[in-house]
């Protein structure tokens, strides 16, 4: 393997020259198709770490959908209901475990996943590649590819789709370094293990966290380990359903991720599933139309004759009361945080999106207020005593 690779440019076209290299040994990945960019590789290497940890923690094939060095979605291979298959544009045909994991990861926030970088923990098979063929995506990293899958992926983007094969046995050095403004930073790589042991300190009155919720909390925490901080992750049924990244205020992060979780659930409502889309409407245009339809600006953006661009007939307005009634049925959601919650307002907002289980670092001087707010709603909360900042 080569130990250096020239890149077209860095984060922006004016940042030349640009390259990736190893001081010892060869690069741990092989380019099977396309030409990688600087941000592509940042997404690929962060995504690879995330799915490998999810695979180890759950024993299930895992996938992530990355955008701008944070996951838009992450999931493990929990079977899809018919409702989710329809909401995720995954109806018909066989769904392998690997395909199921990626479809869930992509379905968490389909708008944010537009033009994503895919990370898979296991071999990319024909079923996964066949679904990915119809999605707008920049590239993929996986430990291996079936012959059929590789052929499908090489046909994407007029033959330029980026396909990376990762060396599954690669182990990085314990110390990692980066430069900012000519100054070199060095630190121990964040190799902390997220395991069920993180969820044993439960100071709330409700101490019952079922196995499925523990899986979802672990998934949320591992996802946050590779999400730009501040960050929180709502999770349900083996997948992220709302990720808030890079917010300066934690409660704004909780609100952002909560609104994404709400949209995820609204996409499964009868009103949305029965929307009369035209047959010639592409997936991204469907996603955009749904996002507008469930939002407050529906009448402004799809009023008049604008609806004719995507629908065969004008759909009825999804009223605020109808949306509130549907969202009130969302339950058993898990919420992870990459650091402590400083105030109970975070829990108040989380409760509105059906959160019943929480995992956070703890250690705030207002832990008692946060615990009391959880007790107010019967939420079980674990203190992990692990901070997961990522920058």
Closest residue by Cα to residue 61 from 43, 79, 46? 79
Pick the catalytic residue from 67, 156, 236, 356. Answer: 67
Closest residue by Cα to residue 129 from 111, 107, 155? 155
Is 67 assigned a catalytic role?
yes
CB proximity list for 50: less than 8 A, separation 6 or greater:
62, 64, 71, 74, 119, 222, 223, 225, 226
* Structure tokens given for 53: 């940890």
The torsion of the CA quartet 148, 149, 155, 160, rounded to 10 degrees, works out to -140
- Cβ(8)–Cβ(35) below 8 Å: yes
In the chain, alpha helices (H): 38-58, 82-87, 97-107, 126-132, 147-154, 211-224, 250-266, 270-273, 283-293, 298-302, 320-327, 345-352, 367-377
Pick the catalytic residue from 33, 230, 323, 346. Answer: 230
Closest residue by Cα to residue 191 from 238, 233, 226? 226
- Cβ(165)–Cβ(145) below 8 Å: yes
The 8-class DSSP code of residue 80 comes to P
* Positive or negative: CA dihedral 360, 363, 364, 370: positive
Tell me phi and psi for residue 273, to 5 degrees. -65, -25
Pick the catalytic residue from 68, 154, 314, 390. Answer: 68
* Structure tokens given for 302: 């799809």
Is 391 assigned a catalytic role?
yes
In 155-249, alpha helices (H): 211-224
C-alpha pair distances (Å), 289 with each of 9, 195, 242, 270, 327:
34, 39, 19, 16, 19
Sheet containing 62-67: give its strands across: 29-33, 162-166, 137-142, 116-120, 62-67, 70-76, 239-245, 231-236, 333-337, 355-360, 380-383
Which positions are catalytic?
67-68, 230, 391
């Amino acid at each position: 393997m080569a130990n250096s690779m020239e890149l077209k440019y860095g984060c922006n076209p004016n940042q030349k020259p640009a390259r990736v290299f190893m001081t010892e040994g060869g690069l741990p990945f092989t380019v099977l198709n396309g030409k990688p960019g600087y941000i592509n590789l940042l997404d690929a290497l962060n995504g690879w770490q995330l799915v490998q940890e999810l695979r180890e923690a759950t024993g299930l094939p895992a996938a992530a959908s990355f955008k701008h060095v944070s996951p838009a979605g992450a999931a493990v291979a929990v079977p899809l209901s018919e409702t989710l298959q329809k909401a995720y544009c995954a109806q018909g045909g066989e769904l392998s475990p690997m395909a199921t994991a990626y479809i869930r990861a992509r379905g968490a926030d389909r708008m944010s996943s537009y033009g994503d970088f895919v990370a898979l923990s296991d071999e990319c098979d024909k079923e996964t590649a066949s679904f990915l063929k119809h999605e707008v995506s920049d590239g993929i990293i996986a430990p291996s590819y079936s012959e059929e899958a590789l052929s499908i992926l090489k046909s994407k983007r007029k033959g330029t789709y980026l396909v990376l094969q990762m060396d599954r046995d690669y182990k990085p050095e314990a110390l990692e370094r980066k430069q900012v403004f000519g100054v070199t930073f060095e630190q121990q790589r964040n190799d902390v293990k997220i395991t069920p042991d993180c969820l044993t300190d439960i100071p709330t009155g409700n101490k019952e966290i079922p196995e499925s919720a523990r899986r979802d909390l672990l998934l949320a925490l591992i996802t946050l380990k590779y999400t730009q901080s501040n960050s929180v992750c709502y999770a349900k049924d083996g997948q992220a359903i709302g990720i808030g990244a890079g917010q300066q205020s934690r409660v704004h992060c909780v609100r952002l991720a909560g609104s994404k979780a709400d949209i995820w659930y609204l996409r499964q409502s009868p009103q949305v599933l029965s929307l009369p889309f035209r047959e010639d409407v592409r997936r991204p245009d469907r996603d955009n139309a749904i996002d507008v339809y469930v939002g407050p600006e529906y009448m402004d953006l799809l009023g008049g004759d604008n609806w004719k661009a995507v629908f065969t007939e004008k759909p009825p307005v999804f009223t605020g009361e109808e949306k509130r009634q549907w969202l009130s049925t969302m339950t058993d959601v898990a919420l992870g945080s990459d650091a402590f919650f400083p105030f109970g307002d975070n829990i108040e907002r989380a409760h509105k999106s059906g959160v019943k289980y929480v995992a956070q670092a703890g250690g705030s001087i207002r832990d008692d207020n946060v615990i009391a707010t959880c007790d107010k709603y019967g939420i079980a909360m674990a203190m992990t005593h692990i901070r997961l900042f990522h920058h």
